[in-house]
Amino acid sequence: MNRKAADHSKSAPAGVRQGSCLDLQHLRRYTADDRTLEVELLSLFKVQARLQAQLISMAKLASDYQRALHTLKGAALAIGANAVARTAIELEAIALGAEPAARRNLIDRLGQEIAAVEAEIETLIG
């Protein structure tokens, strides 16, 4: 591998800081660089993400499970929380009663990803 390719393979995707859970470039485009709107969306995400994660974990009906996943995925994509969105997409592919061990692992991972996003939001907006 040449030096340029090696340097590129270590860099984060455009708009994502190294170690960041949020694509801030995406968020700023989405909010038209309106800091007040950005803070409001990030604050709402913190509340919405925890609620939806609880609904996903406790769902007894497939429709409730899918609705909570879809809601979380949309909120995550809106603010640039791409890892959260990817995990929600993976969970959408597993039916509510199917693959309980795989579902539990993904739900656990989702909780960790949400916690990481919440911590980054706290750093950004307090």
Distance CA 82, CA 65 (A): 20
Q: Which two tokens stand for residue 85?
A: 């969105």
Distance CA 60, CA 63 (A): 9
Which pLDDT band, with edges at 50, 70 and 90, does 20 fall under?
confident
State yes or no: pLDDT of 9 exceeds 80.
Answer: no
In the predicted model, what is the mean pLDDT of residues 74-94?
97
Distance CA 5, CA 110 (A): 32
Beta bridge partners of 16: 23
In the predicted model, what is the mean pLDDT of residues 105-114?
97
Please report the domains of the chain, with CATH numbers, ordered by start residue: 23-125 (1.20.120.160)
CB 88 within 8 A of CB 76: yes
* 72 closest CA partner among 60, 88, 58: 88
φ and ψ at residue 14, rounded to 5 degrees: -55, 130
